[in-house]
Structure 1
Amino acid sequence: MLSAVVWTVVAAVAVVAEQPEVVTTLGTIKGSTIESLHGRTIYAFEGVPYAKPPIGKHRFKQSVPGTAWAGVLNATRIPNMCMQLPNPMTFKDFPLDVAGSEDCLYMNIYTTKLPADLPDGTLQDVIVHIHGGAFQMLSGDLWGPRHLLDRDFVYVNFNYRMGVLGFLSLDDKTCPGNNGLKDQTLALKWVNKHIAAFGGNPNSITITGISAGGASVHYHLLSPLSKGLFHKAIANSGVVLNPWALTKRPREKALVIANAVGCSSNDSVLILECLRDRPAEQLVVSSKLLETWAGLPIDAIGPIIEQPSANAFIDQQPIDIIKSRTINDVPVIFSYTNDEGSVFVIRVLMEEKYNKELQERWDDLLPHVLEYNDVMDPSHMTQIASEIRKYYLGDRNIMEALPDFVRSVSERYFDNGIQEAAMLHAQHQASPVYAYRFSYAGEKGFNPFNEMFQKFYQGKAPHGFDGQFYYSMGSPLFPPIQNFTESLAMSKTMIDYWESFIKGTPVTSWSTVKSGLPDWRFLDILGPETAGNVFKTEKTTSLNFWNGLNLKENSLEKMKSSLPPVHNEL
């Protein structure tokens, strides 16, 4: 029940028509209507600002809340995505060097029941989705509401700054970094304060995310800035312990950007002033210089461990935060698919010149392909590359052992870190921790990656594939789900699982990760028939192998820039 105090603070009315309206403490918002997958009316409020535009002198600063508006806010259009390099999978034949805008801090809010439809004052559970895209690309609206809102939820997605504009850091107080994550926190604060006006319960907020969105969810579990802003969490195909989720040598990378746009200096203040004078498009394009080979690494510039301060999003090692039990202790689901790595080595899979070059230059290129070049002594690179080859390929070349090469990417990029994060949380928090592996490859015609890779190996579930069954995805790669009977059944099953978790914890008949320790306990999801989806316990063989390589992934000193910050006082 919503308290009388909240009702007096947040007034809400609904005009049930083509353009519904709600009233918040910031002003009136006018929306539109769309339909769910099975024909329910959804009230859509798209393009609602949650922060002031981070432009001009506000570029590279922590975002601040937006202010009230006069009149009625027209929230009937999808907002600008945050500025980014165009992803060829999403922007086919896109004519420009960059897409999106700096003025992009907006959210989209969807509900099937406004407060006037809830006369007893019982508000609906809220799902807030944080979009993925390697902290470099995409936008919240690509994960649409039409699947989820066949159920009684309020659903929110939003944009946050990415890449250079969201995560550039000079590793000092001049430009500490993590502004994209701080945007996310501000969005969560907005939801807490205003979601009751849309029929949402501010005391039942579940944050979700896939890939970089999943890692973002995990970051919020660790950050003191996010304490109390959510009540449950679902991290799909990404956690902070994945190697791509935590940027190493941030100052060095920032100086590459600065040098490229004519802002060379050792003085942080001068660098920042110069970068604010440059066109945003020029800064975004310059991030291409951080790529090493074949579009890798996937995390050119992203979240970092900040210098300690009151405003730091995270200033300690993630494992240390978990073990110290200072996390935001809420029920969590961690998950991954059974073929996470394939989409990240498409060039190696599909283009002969790349798989040939990797075969010939294995020792040189593998540290970049598997993202361990920044976390080990360079003198051991060749030895580590040899051990990895022996473990995954044996005496075979890449094309002879392609499924195992892809498995190396899957385990290194995703599986290992997700398993380790889930087990650590299970050990060190009071709230239950659950896990699943999504092993459903999709029926014929629905999963384009199956057809793309079928000449190499039998189809599996690629990176983040389960998202197709929760969200009405905005990707041109996937056909409409309503044309596929089995996929519709799969969607129902997956949303049933989520609804069980969101509406009741502990989840009836679900095994926890803790129940399997020291081994890995998870639900293996094979298809829409729940009887065939069973809990399994497995040894963490790959995780043990990688931990045995003694990479310096959790050494703060190794992750800090080798270039000391030099700057004037602000």
Structure 2
Amino acid sequence: MPAKRTALIALLAGALYLVVGVTATDSLLPAGARGGDTTTTARTDTGLVRGTRTATHTVYQGIPYAGPPKGAHRWAAPRPVRPWAGVRDATRPGPLCPQVASAYADVASLEEDCLVLNVTTGASAAARGHAPVLVWIHGDGAVGGGAYFDARRLADRGLVVVTVNYRLGVFGGFSYPGLEGSGTFALQDQQAALRWVRRNAAAFGGDPGNVTVAGSSFGAAAISGHLTSPGARGLFHRAVLASGEGMMDMPAGAMGEGVPAYPHYTWRTGQESRDTGVEMTSSLGCAGPDPRRALRCLRALPVKKVLEVPDIMNAFQAFAYGNEVLPELPEAALGQGRFLRVPLMSGATLDEHRLFVGMAHDAIGSPFTAGQYARALVTAFGRDAETVGARYPVTAFPSPALAWSTVVTDRMWARGTYAQATAFGRRTPTYAYEFADRDAPMYLPLPGAFDFGAYHAGDTPYVFEDPDAQKYFTDAQVRLSDTITDYWAQFARTGTPNRPGLVRWPRFEPGGAVPHTQSLGPDRIGPVDYAGEHRLDFWRRLAGQGTSPAPRPTEGKEQMS
């Protein structure tokens, strides 16, 4: 059950947010409220908003896209915004959705009126009009907010960029008997934001007919859900999934001792989700035989009291399926071709799991030993532990921690990433990548030393402005950042990352002798045998999986079979 996750998961979730976001409150102002700046206005469908204009960018922050999910509207579908008179100030970030601080993410909020978004454009975007729109869904799912992602670099490439707040943790994923929409409120918020974009993009110089949705980690998993959700039809035309978890499972112990296996990392049945809701809220004094009365009680509780339940935010970092928002298990729908046929960019980092192993062991002064490696193999793989250990002998790695992180990277992350690219590539234009900068700056305040390599979400600062990471960039990493951002922008513009001046990036072809994955590193950009690099044939044989490709159906611009 999700409620049984250990405290380690909470620690990792908080630290991961700092990896994919920024680390200082000042950075919430990417281009606004500085000396010499001016203001400008735009007309949305609910009223005028005042943003900040600099010599190079225009930024609007804290624009509401849905009504406050408070009181009786807590754990309900997002509702329309009430129009306002006059001009609404949009020169400062809006409130973060409810979340709790952790040792590595010193951010917290008790404000439920938080369904806001931010719009960043280049200086001439509004005048030019018809710019591609990129909508960013941040990761983690229990902490964070859209304003933490400074989109000026993408806006410099001619995009209108929208970053979104959505309900997090228990407020975004809560389930309970009789609760309509159980386990899907975060997804519903994101779709409401995309509908806002469709109605309002033109007011900011954007083209509502050319929208790319992009996300990392939990945000990318959410996009996997949207690809299979009837409610997302027509809301976006391309998608970028970075370190997505939509087709990933998790072996026992992969996230630490005592953490169980999950056959579907991101998805839960309605019953599993409801059971978690009942279990996690049993101490709040609202239990009883009448679910409607219990829900009224729960909705009346102060946010602070809900957040005081241990691990409650992390228990709901998953989405429920078998409902109107997600009618079926998205992993199955993706694998069988029942998803929106839009061009896709999908990838991961070379060393995904080093972040989690390093944080849990070497980086905090508790080295992962050879004995622990042997026990972890048994926990994860049972009778196959010896076979896995022979394929990944501890003596072949600089440390047991790197041996274990490589095993989990290959078995969990690479296997799921490759399955996703294969499912996509059989049916729609797909561009697979691997972020391969093993010197990507690690700027979390971790004691000790650990080789994090190309760690999970380490590529995010290569697309979004983040001075805490970029102050460590070498000249080669600056060039890599420019190239990755150019690829993203071109993909958002045309549905392919290719244009003159960039290294050619062929489509991922599952039926090819070696399906093409683009390696993105400071010393080399070009093809890599992703399956060979991550020993996926070994894992397929161990799981008894077949390898023959399915026939490619006729491609459509957008369809859901």
TM-score by length of 2: 0.78
Gaps of 5+ in 1: 1-15, 35-39, 291-298, 368-380, 553-570
User: For 2:374 and 2:285, how far apart are their aligned partners in 1?
Assistant: 34
Shift of residue 448 of structure 1?
Answer: 3.4
Shift of residue 268 of structure 1?
Answer: 3.0
Q: For residue 222 of structure 2, what is the amino acid of its counterpart?
A: S
**Counterpart in the other structure of 1:435:** 432
Q: For residue 69 of structure 1, what is the amino acid of its counterpart?
A: W
Which residue, out of 146, 149, 171, partners 1:143?
149
Task: String of CA shifts for 1:109-151, please: whole Å, max 9, x gaps.
Answer: 1112467623xxx411111100111x11111112111221222
User: For 2:125 and 2:443, how far apart are their aligned partners in 1?
Assistant: 41
Do structure 1's residue 268 and structure 2's residue 283 form an aligned pair? no
**Is the CA contact 1:53–1:105 (under 8 Å) kept in the aligned structure 2?**
yes
Do structure 1's residue 280 and structure 2's residue 303 form an aligned pair? yes
User: For 1:479 and 1:113, how far apart are their aligned partners in 2?
Assistant: 23
**Is the CA contact 1:287–1:300 (under 8 Å) kept in the aligned structure 2?**
no
Q: How does 1:368-387 map to 2 (within 5 A)?
A: 382-383=382-383, 386=385
Do structure 1's residue 462 and structure 2's residue 491 form an aligned pair? no
**Counterpart in the other structure of 1:536:** 528
Secondary structure at the counterpart of residue 334 of structure 1: strand
**Is the CA contact 2:217–2:242 (under 8 Å) kept in the aligned structure 1?**
yes
| CA RMSD, 1 decimal | 3.3
Q: How does 1:21-420 map to 2 (within 5 A)?
A: 21-34=41-54, 41-91=56-106, 98-113=108-123, 117-118=127-128, 122-133=129-140, 135-170=141-176, 173-174=179-180, 176-243=182-249, 244-247=265-268, 249-265=272-288, 267-288=290-311, 300-308=315-323, 312-345=324-357, 346-351=359-364, 353=366, 355=368, 359=372, 362=375, 366=379, 382-383=382-383, 386=385, 390=389, 394=393, 400-420=399-419
**Is the CA contact 1:143–1:157 (under 8 Å) kept in the aligned structure 2?**
yes
Shift of residue 103 of structure 1?
Answer: 1.4
User: For 1:399 and 1:176, how far apart are their aligned partners in 2?
Assistant: 46
**Counterpart in the other structure of 1:558:** none
Gaps of 5+ in 2: 1-35, 250-264, 499-503, 546-561
Shift of residue 267 of structure 1?
Answer: 4.3
Task: String of CA shifts for 1:447-488, please: whole Å, max 9, x gaps.
Answer: 437x9699554x5211111111110138x5x3547x753332
Which residue, out of 497, 519, 527, partners 1:524?
519
User: For 1:551 and 1:172, how far apart are their aligned partners in 2?
Assistant: 40
Moved more, 459-468 or 183-192: 459-468
Relative to structure 1, is the Cα distance of residues 265 and 143 closer, same or farther in structure 2, using a 3 angstrom cutoff?
A: same
Q: For residue 537 of structure 1, what is the amino acid of its counterpart?
A: D
Secondary structure at the counterpart of residue 147 of structure 1: helix
User: For 2:167 and 2:63, how far apart are their aligned partners in 1?
Assistant: 16
Q: For residue 417 of structure 1, what is the amino acid of its counterpart?
A: G
User: For 2:277 and 2:94, how far apart are their aligned partners in 1?
Assistant: 28
**Counterpart in the other structure of 2:464:** 471
Q: For residue 114 of structure 2, what is the amino acid of its counterpart?
A: C
User: For 1:435 and 1:442, how far apart are their aligned partners in 2?
Assistant: 21
User: For 1:131 and 1:357, how far apart are their aligned partners in 2?
Assistant: 36
Q: For residue 303 of structure 2, what is the amino acid of its counterpart?
A: A
Relative to structure 1, is the Cα distance of residues 344 and 542 closer, same or farther in structure 2, using a 3 angstrom cutoff?
A: same
Secondary structure at the counterpart of residue 89 of structure 1: coil
Secondary structure at the counterpart of residue 38 of structure 2: coil
Secondary structure at the counterpart of residue 458 of structure 2: coil
Q: How does 1:487-498 map to 2 (within 5 A)?
A: 487-498=477-488
Q: For residue 491 of structure 1, what is the amino acid of its counterpart?
A: S
Relative to structure 1, is the Cα distance of residues 115 and 497 closer, same or farther in structure 2, using a 3 angstrom cutoff?
A: closer
Relative to structure 1, is the Cα distance of residues 268 and 47 closer, same or farther in structure 2, using a 3 angstrom cutoff?
A: same
Q: For residue 268 of structure 1, what is the amino acid of its counterpart?
A: P
Secondary structure at the counterpart of residue 214 of structure 1: helix
**Is the CA contact 2:97–2:112 (under 8 Å) kept in the aligned structure 1?**
yes
User: For 2:196 and 2:406, how far apart are their aligned partners in 1?
Assistant: 40
Relative to structure 1, is the Cα distance of residues 186 and 174 closer, same or farther in structure 2, using a 3 angstrom cutoff?
A: closer
Shift of residue 53 of structure 1?
Answer: 0.6
**Counterpart in the other structure of 1:510:** 505
Q: For residue 281 of structure 2, what is the amino acid of its counterpart?
A: A
Task: String of CA shifts for 1:500-544, please: whole Å, max 9, x gaps.
Answer: 3223344543221116547542001121x6xx3111234366545
Relative to structure 1, is the Cα distance of residues 71 and 357 closer, same or farther in structure 2, using a 3 angstrom cutoff?
A: farther
Aligned length in residues: 486
**Is the CA contact 2:170–2:312 (under 8 Å) kept in the aligned structure 1?**
no
**Is the CA contact 1:403–1:456 (under 8 Å) kept in the aligned structure 2?**
no
Moved more, 539-548 or 207-216: 539-548
**Is the CA contact 1:440–1:525 (under 8 Å) kept in the aligned structure 2?**
yes
Task: String of CA shifts for 1:367-397, please: whole Å, max 9, x gaps.
Answer: 5xxxxxxxxxxxxx7436x358626654669
**Is the CA contact 1:147–1:469 (under 8 Å) kept in the aligned structure 2?**
no
User: For 1:328 and 1:467, how far apart are their aligned partners in 2?
Assistant: 25
Secondary structure at the counterpart of residue 22 of structure 1: strand
Shift of residue 545 of structure 1?
Answer: 5.0
**Counterpart in the other structure of 1:9:** none
Task: String of CA shifts for 1:8-41, please: whole Å, max 9, x gaps.
Answer: xxxxxxxx9711011223211111124xxxxx52
Q: For residue 462 of structure 1, what is the amino acid of its counterpart?
A: Y
Secondary structure at the counterpart of residue 283 of structure 1: helix
Q: For residue 64 of structure 2, what is the amino acid of its counterpart?
A: P
**Is the CA contact 1:235–1:334 (under 8 Å) kept in the aligned structure 2?**
yes
